[in-house]
Amino acid sequence: MSNLAPNDFGVFAIIISYFAFIEIFLSPNIGNILINLKKNNEKILANFLFCSFINAIFIFIFTSLIVLILKFNNFQYSVYLYIICLARIFNLYPTLISSYFQKQLKFIKSILITNFSLSLSVVLAYLISFKINDFKVLILREFIFSFFACLIAIFLKKISLKKNLLNIKAIKLFMIYGYKYSFSQFPQNFFQPLINLIVGKLYGINNLGYLTQSLYIFNAFYKLLAVFTDQILYVIFSKFKKNKIVFIFINMSFLIAILLSLIIWFLYNFLFHEIFIEKLSNNKWENIIAYIDYLIFLIVPMVLYSTMKSLLSSSREYKFIFINLILVCLICPILIYINYLYLDYNLLISYIIVYTLASLSFYVYSIKKF
């Protein structure tokens, strides 16, 4: 997205953050329920889809209320929340089908729905950015991703609603376990939108753009690892609970993360660092180099954090996850505010400290528990 300025990414982050607060309270996590169920039949899929669309109606209503409130407070971008809302509604079906394929251990189909659609949306958005060179192209990227993910999911599996609707057991599973899991994830889902609003307020929209785009670069790479830590390992941990094989995979993912960090650090510092400086020098993105320098140190804590959270989630240790994530939500904003007042270090240092502490606490707790 080199055609866009840091300010565009900052504005986009603010818009997404407001919508994220709606999703936190109204979107149950159906993926993890499907993976944990012993059987995923057509009745469960059909009723989960039905409940998701009922849920989408409430999301649209609350989006309208937030838009009215933001308009009243002179937030000029509030209308774009509707496009994000529509994109999320399109994403309901692919989320359901992707989780279904993960349960069936058909990871290629799951990756095709999510990662392929994401890559396609980024490429198309980049091409569009030559015509529309502001934050609107980022809003379009969200819609393009959901649209193509939905098309691919429909192509790979169709759900029949005619004979399978209104199964009370399936609806109860959706309502009780979906919202229970979402409640356990509340601090994590609340975390980034909160940080975005704090950074935007304290450091300005430009610095928020540098932070979110550097994290986007990190996440684009990390999604490849997340297929292993968040999807494959979650399924493995669900099947081999309290087994020695669990810690073999944990240590393996940790070692892989360390090895990758060392390789990337070497490549970046000895091959690409000078190229980055030369290419971005006297450019609107010049200041992002300081953020990229710290991204490498985020790999190990994030991999360990995701791996341990997958283990604890598969064992339904939601209470400990919730307490841990609450601490993450409290500590990181405090570190950012202290940094703003006294230290003036890079904002990513707060992320590195917080995720290191969180992953270590997960690891110690898991050793004692299992």
Query: Which two tokens mark 203?
Result: 């450091």
Q: What pLDDT, on the 0 to 100 scale, is given for residue 239? A: 61
Q: Report the distance separating Cα 219 and Cα 287, nearest Å.
A: 19
Whether the Cβ atoms of residue 125 and residue 137 lie closer than 8 Å to each other = yes
Q: What pLDDT, on the 0 to 100 scale, is given for residue 352? A: 87
Amino acid at 37: L
Element (H, E) at 112: none
At how many degrees (to 10) do helices 136-156 and 92-103 cross?
A: 50
What's the distance, Cα to Cα, between the start and end of the chain in Å? Answer: 45
Q: Report the distance separating Cα 264 and Cα 273, nearest Å.
A: 11
Q: What pLDDT, on the 0 to 100 scale, is given for residue 204? A: 87
Q: Report the distance separating Cα 127 and Cα 11, nearest Å.
A: 20
Q: What pLDDT, on the 0 to 100 scale, is given for residue 289? A: 79
Q: What pLDDT, on the 0 to 100 scale, is given for residue 348? A: 85
Query: Which two tokens mark 299?
Result: 């790999």
Residues comprising the chain, all counted: 370
Q: Report the distance separating Cα 83 and Cα 32, nearest Å.
A: 26
Exposure string for 272-310, b = 16+ CB within 10 A, e = fewer: eeeebeeebeeeebeebbebbbbbbbbbbbbbbbbbbbb
* Domain layout of the chain by residue ranges: 1-184, 185-370
Whether the Cβ atoms of residue 4 and residue 133 lie closer than 8 Å to each other = yes
Q: Report the distance separating Cα 15 and Cα 112, nearest Å.
A: 28
Full-model pTM = 0.76
Q: What pLDDT, on the 0 to 100 scale, is given for residue 288? A: 80
Whether the Cβ atoms of residue 63 and residue 79 lie closer than 8 Å to each other = no
Average pLDDT per block of 10 residues along the chain, 370 residues long: 78 86 69 66 74 81 83 73 85 82 77 83 86 85 89 82 65 66 68 87 88 79 61 61 64 70 74 72 75 80 75 72 81 88 82 86 74
Estimate to the nearest angstrom the gap between the alpha carbon of 225 and the chain centroid. 13
Q: What pLDDT, on the 0 to 100 scale, is given for residue 36? A: 65
Whether the Cβ atoms of residue 30 and residue 95 lie closer than 8 Å to each other = yes
Q: What pLDDT, on the 0 to 100 scale, is given for residue 244? A: 64
Estimate to the nearest angstrom the gap between the alpha carbon of 118 and the chain centroid. 12
DSSP string across 7-57: HHHHHHHHHHHHHHHHHHHH---HHHHHHHSS---HHHHHHHHHHHHHHHH
- DSSP type of residue 298: G
Q: What pLDDT, on the 0 to 100 scale, is given for residue 28? A: 63
Exposure string for 218-232, b = 16+ CB within 10 A, e = fewer: beeebeebbbbbbbb
Estimate to the nearest angstrom the gap between the alpha carbon of 293 and the chain centroid. 22
Q: Report the distance separating Cα 328 and Cα 184, nearest Å.
A: 13
